[in-house]
Chain A
Amino acid sequence: MDSHAINDLKKLLGADAVLHRPEELLLYEYDGSVEVARPNCVVFPRHTKEVVGIVQIANRYQIPMIGRGAGTGLSGGALARQGGVLVVFSRMNRILEIDVENQCAVVQPGVVNADLSVAVAQTGLHFAPDPSSQKASTIGGNVSENSGGPHTLAYGVTTNHVHSLEAVLPTGELVRLGSPALDSPGYDLPGLFVGSEGTLALVTEITVKLTRLPETVKTLLAIFDTVDDATETVVDITARGITPAACEMLDGWTIRAVEAYVHAGFPVDCAAVLLLEVDGLREAAEQHAEEVADVCRLHHAREVRVARDARERDLLWKGRKNAFGAVGRLSPTYYVQDGVIPRTKLPQTLRRINEIGEKYGFEIGNIFHAGDGNLHPIILFDAREEKQFQRAVASADEIIGFCIEMGGSITGEHGVGMEKDRLMPLLFTEDDMNLMRRVRDAYNPVGLLNPGKIFPDTKGCGEIHVRPLPVAGASRA
């Protein structure tokens, strides 16, 4: 990269906020995924003004720029696929305002999701989107990926909790999108920007909605001896018009990994568990909990446990929220896939995943947001063996192919990033993608912001890109 550009950045931000030596850049070639791409320079702005300055410099020298929060993303979204300057928001991490009366907060993008909920806990409010990465991932990252979590089923995804945004367009223009009210007249621009995977603007300030904590929460663990019983329970619960706040499923294999870590008392000999939560006013919650338990028993649940207090509840959730990582105990490298299917298709999809695992000779665990049909199969492999890596990718692609066949999609919440751009044509026609490209180009005309993401760059199909072997210790998470 042009050394003048680096000097300009240092002048703007101070030497401490600009990294450019090779050994420093090596630590920004990865995120939570296995994709690898290195920036030419990394900067740490502290306020919006500095972000505007960075964008102006990037424009002056025509260098790509890429936003990054905590780097927990699972699709390589925060990686500099074509080099350039990585704009890391970790130092823009102040909560600017908490308005209890109007149930909203204004935050800088680097505020960590869980930190916001902790900061407002005393007021009985919380920030509802709860990705499993919430104790590390930033609200800026959540906004860009439109993250969801176990409670998405009842509370919605990030976009349902964003009032307005302040953002710097790739041209250097500072804009405000949306209004303090959740429904604002005109186009729903925040809705467009949330989930745009950092390809439309660098987000510099977010006004989020805070949600009152429910009066009563009932958490149930239902234990099944067959996977089919568990999946059919999910289908049945929703068919009866009950919407649990959360409905998560872990298969037996995953439970054994998780139990070794959290000791939550998960039964290690079962085939699957459902972690169900209902909340609301005391009476309604209790009644729903009972109905849910009845449905579980109807489908031969071996046992239904109800968490007796907050500690037991936290323990159950700890098992779920740390499930991916717990798998790291079984294998140094794994690949978490992210697919969506209509939830009525759960039983056959799980059977198919099992077959695919057998065909390729991999162990595949399954964790998913069963309530909304969002699957996360986890494929274990050994990264030191190149062939295994390619085979893991092939088996994952086969799973995703089956999801599409079932009428589903290629990603539920982890985004397309640079991981799944090549799969987009499976879901969209070239015309569909061109329409989306036109939206991107309206804001990001030269493609300087986060290039090489979401859409396959070479038009037409059959692009093959060979990825480098992950370094030892890397995972495809």
Chain B
Amino acid sequence: MPATPPQSHEDAQREFALTLSGFSATDKPEYEDYSRCVHCGLCSNNCPTYRLWGREADSPRGRIRQMALVDQGRLEIGDTFVTHIDRCLNCRNCESVCPSGVEYGKILELARAQIEQKYKRPFTSRVLRDFIYRRLLPYPKRIAAAARTLRFYQRWGLASLARNTGILRLLGLQDRESLLPKIDSNFFFSELGKTFPAQGRQRARVAFFAGCVAQVTFSELNRATIRVLQANGCEVVVTAEQVCCGALAAHAGVRDVARNLARANFSAFHADDFDAIITNAAGCGSTLKEYSQLFTENEADLESACKFSAKVRDISEFLADLGLVAPLRPLPMRVTYQDSCHLVHGQKIREAPRKLIRAVPSVELVEMALSDLCCGSAGVYNVMEPKAALDLLSDKMHHAQQTKAQAILTANPGCILQLRAGAAIHKTGQEVLHVIELLDRALIKS
């Protein structure tokens, strides 16, 4: 096939390496990216899974090495590789500490894309993943339908029935009722297509990204976000045709689905018409900001991706920059803040949420130890790897409790669910709120 032999020693080596590689040609971790890891090991103690098990294979350095080994043909994409790559939380704490600038999140998603292409998972896992990533999340109507069913069970106390009839067992959720979100009575889908005017002088015009599952479980948070934006002089447009951001699919290596969702969002949001596209979910935000990673350089989509991502702002990032103007009433309470991984490590936003919290009169912010270590939520991790997720959660609740805070604040719906479950399991009696919910509570409403 190749007509011309390699032209230099270097080319020859490269070609040799390529023939041996266990990766397929597309959507794979690239040498230029993973070789930035100089295996110094400085990241290991910041990695939640390394802290749990102390094993190199479950450390960032070890995971990157396993990718390199596959690329060199020294390790196959088999059970071992898949186990350790699956167990990664994709919390990206390693990225924050890595002095060499390894873009771990990017190469992890590509490694998972290779697993999708090259590894056959056991039957139930295949069915479950196919259902979640390909058949459910991309379709708002199906999310609504599933949510209505679940709500029916929750309303009528039939959760145990569901468990016994095996529905929850199929989803691997039999012991996880505490983690199941409470389904809202009033879905957010009804707000799609609406525009909410700014209060007072208009300072910005923004589009609101409403999320997928959040529309059936966090409708109130979404409404609170819009209220806070309005009160601070923003006109808020809830774009009609928007779909799931594709973060969960991208994290799982299901890149074709993620790409299609991204494209749908490019056309749903006319980025030029807005000062910003706002999300209140850190997990969505980091994917929305990194859409360009889904498209290789020559694809026309890359341009749309860059244009779109340039406008994406996390709600706390946006408000902290814009400055709060709405008057706030004092809320005498002691709170602590749990950094959402995809805000602090994914988007490198540490100060903005704290600034907003401090802006509320009489709120006392007490930092907990290791606030930027993952709580174990990590997208669907708490469903896929329940034991590890609960171990991380119990450490987290311990640190949160030591602050004697009445409320734990955070910046992502997934974290809220996990921390609420934690507060219930460990009976800490702490309330769990999104930073924006705190601001909303403090708004002086007419």
Q: How many residues of A contact B (CB 8 A)?
A: 47
Q: Can you list, as one digit per residue, whether each of B399-416 has a CB less than 8 Å from chain A (1) or not (0)?
A: 000000000000000000
B100 x A325 contact (CB < 8 A)? yes
For residue A30, CB closer than 8 A to chain B, the reply is yes
B41 x A31 contact (CB < 8 A)? yes
B39 x A473 contact (CB < 8 A)? yes
Q: Can you list, as one digit per residue, whether each of B70-114 has a CB less than 8 Å from chain A (1) or not (0)?
A: 011011001011000000000000000111111000000000000
Q: How far is the CB of B72 from chain A (nearest CB, A)?
A: 6
B97 x A384 contact (CB < 8 A)? no
For residue A129, CB closer than 8 A to chain B, the reply is no
Q: How far is the CB of B296 from chain A (nearest CB, A)?
A: 22
Q: How far is the CB of A445 from chain B (nearest CB, A)?
A: 31
Inter-chain CA distance A326–B102, complex, in Å, is 10
For residue B292, CB closer than 8 A to chain A, the reply is no
For residue B305, CB closer than 8 A to chain A, the reply is no
Interface size range of chain B in the complex: 35 or more
For residue B55, CB closer than 8 A to chain A, the reply is yes
Inter-chain CA distance A27–B75, complex, in Å, is 11
Residue of B nearest to A24 (CB): B57
Which residues between 223 and 272 of chain A lie within 8 Å of chain B, taking CB atoms?
261
Inter-chain CA distance A475–B40, complex, in Å, is 9
When the two chains form the complex, which single residue of A44, A133, A329 contacts B40, counting CB atoms closer than 8 Å?
A133
Inter-chain CA distance A88–B179, complex, in Å, is 35
When the two chains form the complex, which single residue of A27, A28, A137 contacts B66, counting CB atoms closer than 8 Å?
A27
When the two chains form the complex, which single residue of A118, A323, A477 contacts B39, counting CB atoms closer than 8 Å?
A477
B39 x A472 contact (CB < 8 A)? no
Residue of B nearest to A470 (CB): B39
Q: How far is the CB of A46 from chain B (nearest CB, A)?
A: 10
When the two chains form the complex, which single residue of A332, A472, A475 contacts B17, counting CB atoms closer than 8 Å?
A472
Which residues between 115 and 169 of chain A lie within 8 Å of chain B, taking CB atoms?
115, 118, 133, 135-137
Q: How far is the CB of A358 from chain B (nearest CB, A)?
A: 23
Q: With A115-B45, A261-B99, A325-B99 as given contacts, are A471 and B68 in contact (CB-CB < 8 Å)?
A: yes
Residue of A nearest to B99 (CB): A325
A118 x B369 contact (CB < 8 A)? yes
Q: How far is the CB of A117 from chain B (nearest CB, A)?
A: 13
For residue B204, CB closer than 8 A to chain A, the reply is no
A27 x B65 contact (CB < 8 A)? yes
For residue A444, CB closer than 8 A to chain B, the reply is no
Which residues between 49 and 64 of chain B lie within 8 Å of chain A, taking CB atoms?
50, 54-57, 62, 64
Inter-chain CA distance A236–B74, complex, in Å, is 54
Q: Can you list, as one digit per residue, whether each of A349-376 has a CB less than 8 Å from chain B (1) or not (0)?
A: 0000000000000000000000000000
B41 x A325 contact (CB < 8 A)? no
A473 x B10 contact (CB < 8 A)? no
Which residues between 235 and 280 of chain B lie within 8 Å of chain A, taking CB atoms?
none
Inter-chain CA distance A385–B66, complex, in Å, is 22
Residue of B nearest to A382 (CB): B10
For residue A449, CB closer than 8 A to chain B, the reply is no
Chain B contacts of A30 at CB under 8 A?
39, 65
When the two chains form the complex, which single residue of A26, A90, A133, A324 contacts B75, counting CB atoms closer than 8 Å?
A26
Which residues between 340 and 377 of chain B lie within 8 Å of chain A, taking CB atoms?
369
For residue B36, CB closer than 8 A to chain A, the reply is yes
For residue A407, CB closer than 8 A to chain B, the reply is no
A328 x B99 contact (CB < 8 A)? yes
Chain B contacts of A93 at CB under 8 A?
54
Which residues between 16 and 45 of chain A lie within 8 Å of chain B, taking CB atoms?
19, 21, 23-24, 26-28, 30-32, 44
B45 x A472 contact (CB < 8 A)? no
When the two chains form the complex, which single residue of B9, B44, B99 contacts A70, counting CB atoms closer than 8 Å?
B44
Q: With A70-B41, A385-B9 as given contacts, are A332 and B35 in contact (CB-CB < 8 Å)?
A: yes
Which residues between 70 and 96 of chain A lie within 8 Å of chain B, taking CB atoms?
70-72, 88, 90-91, 93
Chain A contacts of B66 at CB under 8 A?
27
For residue A322, CB closer than 8 A to chain B, the reply is yes
B101 x A27 contact (CB < 8 A)? no
Q: With A135-B42, A135-B46, A473-B37 as given contacts, are A88 and B54 in contact (CB-CB < 8 Å)?
A: yes
When the two chains form the complex, which single residue of B38, B40, B56, B98 contacts A27, counting CB atoms closer than 8 Å?
B56
B72 x A334 contact (CB < 8 A)? no
For residue B69, CB closer than 8 A to chain A, the reply is yes
A28 x B56 contact (CB < 8 A)? yes
Inter-chain CA distance A24–B62, complex, in Å, is 10
For residue B168, CB closer than 8 A to chain A, the reply is no
For residue B7, CB closer than 8 A to chain A, the reply is no
- Of all A-B residue pairs in the complex, the 9 with the closest CB atoms, nearest first, are A325-B99, A328-B100, A90-B54, A322-B99, A475-B38, A332-B35, A473-B35, A72-B41, A27-B56
User: B-contacting residues of A (Cβ < 8 Å)?
Assistant: 19, 21, 23-24, 26-28, 30-32, 44, 70-72, 88, 90-91, 93, 110, 112, 114-115, 118, 133, 135-137, 261, 322-329, 332-334, 384-385, 471-475, 477
14 A-B contact pairs sorted by A residue (CB < 8 Å): A23-B80, A26-B75, A30-B39, A88-B54, A90-B50, A114-B45, A136-B44, A136-B46, A325-B42, A332-B35, A473-B39, A474-B38, A474-B39, A477-B39
